[in-house]
């Protein structure tokens, strides 16, 4: 395959060598594994070859490395400009910080998405009612479980002809959730016992103030105390209420080094007994502690009929770094991409308010546990909605099948990517090591853990060029196991061409992760260009 030019006329991939194309079925991976330790020599350098790895590191530092590339960036994308208050991206990313902080659980993420869409005229439609949609309509479909949501901007033409412009991301993050009977006592304390969701980095949850958020459910009862049943469905009526106690109500203490001298060398954390949070102190105090918690929540925990309550880091995300170029906080995976898709949609709606093609943003719960839930990416939720929209679109002619839409659809699966780590550079294949704030990332995996193909990667690169955004590549070291995401699942459910992309971040699945502000702004631009059809 021919190499691409090092930069596009519109600024894409500025300052970087052309992306090396994948060379499947070669021994390259093995060779990389053998020489990975010399990470400082990752890029061509004009200086004379250093005599040692240390020399190479100094040479790279003296040359500026990433800073040199940053200087070549358009001024509106530099962290320094953000510091000076002159960066148009700054307000947007500060908006992400607000969005993230207000979304401690998938329930809240969905509610935040709905609120944001409503500011642009999107209106909620019930999944259980007919889809009598109109071209130009802006619709929101929340799954009945409240943890997944689909936004639709209906195009003038039938999806049967145009396909959908589809972006997917996920609303859940690894976290700790209360067990069904969570209150316990130990060592003079009242504990909230937990179970874990997803592959969280357990130690990151220790010694950190924790807040409580989620949904609480109550059975609606008749005057005689019996449960009320729905007149038509015949089901008991249960209400849902979102709660977010944004206060440090608990902590999971680590063990002192004096009591565990080997903890810096070893130290597995058994989630059965290790990850329970201290809610209060005092023997025999669970009732009083629960009452106090109930009062703060505004919900009687003793009388709850059901709950989905999460312990979440009590931490407002912040812009960090002397140039404010980093965003440090929980749940970047994957709320950073939920937000980017949302803002991309808003950008496109403002730019092209009456599109020909229907725009779709689908935000799924349960990616961290495999997506096999009623509203996860492996469910029928998205497919059902898309088929119904294509069938009911006024421009769909008699004799046309709604499934025709999938043949023309392109899906961008947006989930975070592993950034090259400054203290552990050996963990990346040096040819596929995305840098923070150096561009959005295409992720590929020959074992199909990502849905990216050569064609879909090229399509995404074209969007990046149209948006003036730089693009980087990620392929995991061939001696490590690759993670996955909703991309392959959505692709399989719909049979649509899909690319897996993301923004680089450090410490994925930690209670506190770090990503780059410039990359988020770039992803908004790229997804906006996708939705706008290149306009």
Q: How far is the CB of 490 from Zn ion (least distance, A)?
A: 13
Residue 415 binding Zn ion, by CB under 5 A? yes
Contact 52, 510 (CB under 8 A): no
Q: 32 vs 333, which CB is nearer to Zn ion? A: 333
> Residue 372 class from Cβ within 10 Å (0-12 exposed, 13-18 middle, 19+ buried)?
exposed
Question: Residue 363 belongs to what H/E stretch?
Answer: strand 358-364
Q: How far is the CB of 415 from Zn ion (least distance, A)?
A: 4
* Residue 160 in tokens: 């049967």
Residue range at the interface with Zn ion (CB under 5 A); choices 84-92, 129-137, 139-147, 328-336: 328-336
Residue 70, Cα to own-chain centre: how many angstroms? Answer: 25
Q: 42 vs 333, which CB is nearer to Zn ion? A: 333
Q: Which of 175, 308, 333, 518 binds Zn ion (CB under 5 A)?
A: 333
Number of residues that bind Zn ion (CB under 5 A): 3
Torsional class of 503: left (φ above 0), alpha (ψ -120 to 50), beta (otherwise): beta
Residue 504's DSSP bridge partners are 417
Q: Quickly count: other Cβ atoms within 10 Å of residue 154's Cβ.
A: 25
Q: 335 vs 385, which CB is nearer to Zn ion? A: 335
Q: 42 vs 415, which CB is nearer to Zn ion? A: 415
Q: Which of 334, 343, 500, 519 binds Zn ion (CB under 5 A)?
A: 334
Q: How far is the CB of 417 from Zn ion (least distance, A)?
A: 9
Q: How far is the CB of 510 from Zn ion (least distance, A)?
A: 13
Q: 172 vs 343, which CB is nearer to Zn ion? A: 172
Residue range at the interface with Zn ion (CB under 5 A); choices 7-15, 282-290, 308-316, 334-342: 334-342
Q: How far is the CB of 211 from Zn ion (least distance, A)?
A: 22
CA distance 429 to 355: 41
Torsional class of 9: left (φ above 0), alpha (ψ -120 to 50), beta (otherwise): alpha
**Which residues, numbered 34-53, are part of the site for Zn ion (CB under 5 A)?**
none
Residue range at the interface with Zn ion (CB under 5 A); choices 318-326, 352-360, 408-416, 436-444: 408-416
φ and ψ at 333, to 5 degrees?
-85, 95
Residue range at the interface with Zn ion (CB under 5 A); choices 58-66, 302-310, 411-419, 450-458: 411-419
Question: Residue 286 belongs to what H/E stretch?
Answer: helix 286-297
Cα distances from 434 to residues 66, 107, 419, 519, in angstroms, run 11, 31, 5, 11
* Residue 212 in tokens: 């409580």
Among positive and negative, which fits the CA dihedral 56, 58, 59, 65?
positive
Q: 466 vs 486, which CB is nearer to Zn ion? A: 486
Q: 90 vs 509, which CB is nearer to Zn ion? A: 509
Q: How far is the CB of 112 from Zn ion (least distance, A)?
A: 17
Helix (H, G, I), strand (E, B) or coil at 259: helix
Q: How far is the CB of 104 from Zn ion (least distance, A)?
A: 16
Q: 161 vs 333, which CB is nearer to Zn ion? A: 333
* Residue 173 in tokens: 């993050």
φ and ψ at 399, to 5 degrees?
95, -15
Q: How far is the CB of 172 from Zn ion (least distance, A)?
A: 8
Residue numbers at the binding site for Zn ion (CB under 5 A): 333-334, 415
């Amino acid at each position: 395959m021919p190499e691409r030019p090092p930069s596009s006329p519109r600024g894409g991939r500025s300052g970087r060598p052309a992306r090396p194309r994948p060379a499947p079925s070669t021994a390259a991976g093995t060779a990389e594994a053998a020489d990975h330790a010399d990470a400082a020599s990752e890029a061509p350098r004009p200086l004379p070859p250093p005599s040692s790895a240390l020399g190479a590191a100094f040479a790279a530092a003296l040359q500026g490395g990433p800073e040199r590339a940053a200087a070549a960036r358009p001024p509106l994308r530099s962290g320094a400009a953000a510091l000076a208050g002159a960066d148009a991206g700054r307000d947007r990313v500060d908006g992400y910080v607000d969005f993230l902080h207000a979304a401690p659980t998938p329930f809240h993420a969905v509610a935040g998405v709905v609120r944001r869409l409503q500011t642009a005229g999107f209106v909620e439609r019930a999944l259980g009612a007919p889809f009598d949609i109109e071209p130009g309509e802006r619709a929101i479909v929340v799954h009945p479980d409240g943890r997944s949501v689909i936004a639709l901007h209906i195009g003038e033409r039938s999806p049967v002809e145009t396909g959908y412009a589809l972006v997917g991301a996920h609303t859940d993050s690894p976290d700790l959730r209360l067990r069904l009977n969570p209150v316990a006592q130990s060592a003079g304390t009242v504990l909230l016992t937990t179970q874990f969701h997803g592959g969280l980095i357990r130690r990151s949850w220790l010694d950190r103030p924790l807040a409580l958020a989620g949904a609480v459910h109550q059975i609606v009862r008749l005057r005689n105390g019996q449960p009320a049943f729905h007149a038509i469905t015949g089901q008991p009526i249960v209400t849902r209420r979102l709660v977010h106690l944004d206060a440090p109500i608990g902590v999971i203490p680590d063990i002192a080094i004096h009591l565990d001298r080997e903890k810096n060398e070893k130290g597995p954390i058994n989630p059965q007994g290790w990850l329970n949070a201290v809610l209060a102190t005092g023997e025999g105090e669970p009732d009083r502690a629960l009452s106090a918690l109930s009062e703060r929540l505004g919900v009687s925990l003793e009388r709850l009929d059901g709950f989905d309550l999460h312990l979440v880091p009590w931490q407002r995300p912040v812009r960090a770094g002397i140039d404010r170029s980093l965003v440090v906080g929980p749940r970047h995976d994957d709320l950073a991409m939920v937000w980017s898709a949302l803002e991309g949609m808003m950008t496109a709606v403002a730019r092209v308010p009456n599109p020909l093609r229907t725009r779709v943003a689908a935000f799924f719960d349960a990616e961290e546990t495999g997506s096999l839930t009623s509203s996860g990416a492996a469910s029928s939720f998205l497919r059902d909605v898309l088929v119904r929209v294509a069938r009911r679109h006024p421009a769909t002619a008699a004799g046309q099948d709604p499934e025709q839409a999938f043949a023309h659809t392109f899906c961008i699966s947006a989930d975070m990517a592993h950034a090259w780590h400054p203290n552990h550079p050996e963990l990346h294949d040096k040819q596929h090591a995305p840098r923070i704030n150096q561009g959005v990332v295409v992720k590929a995996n020959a074992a199909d853990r990502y849905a990216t193909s050569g064609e879909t990667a090229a399509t995404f690169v074209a969007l990046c060029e149209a948006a003036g955004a730089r693009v980087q590549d990620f392929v995991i070291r061939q001696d490590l196991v690759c993670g996955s995401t909703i991309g392959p699942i959505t692709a399989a459910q719909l049979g649509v061409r899909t690319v897996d992309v993301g923004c680089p971040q450090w410490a994925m699945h930690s209670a506190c992760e770090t990503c780059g502000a410039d990359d988020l702004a770039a992803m908004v631009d790229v997804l906006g260009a996708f939705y706008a059809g290149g306009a």
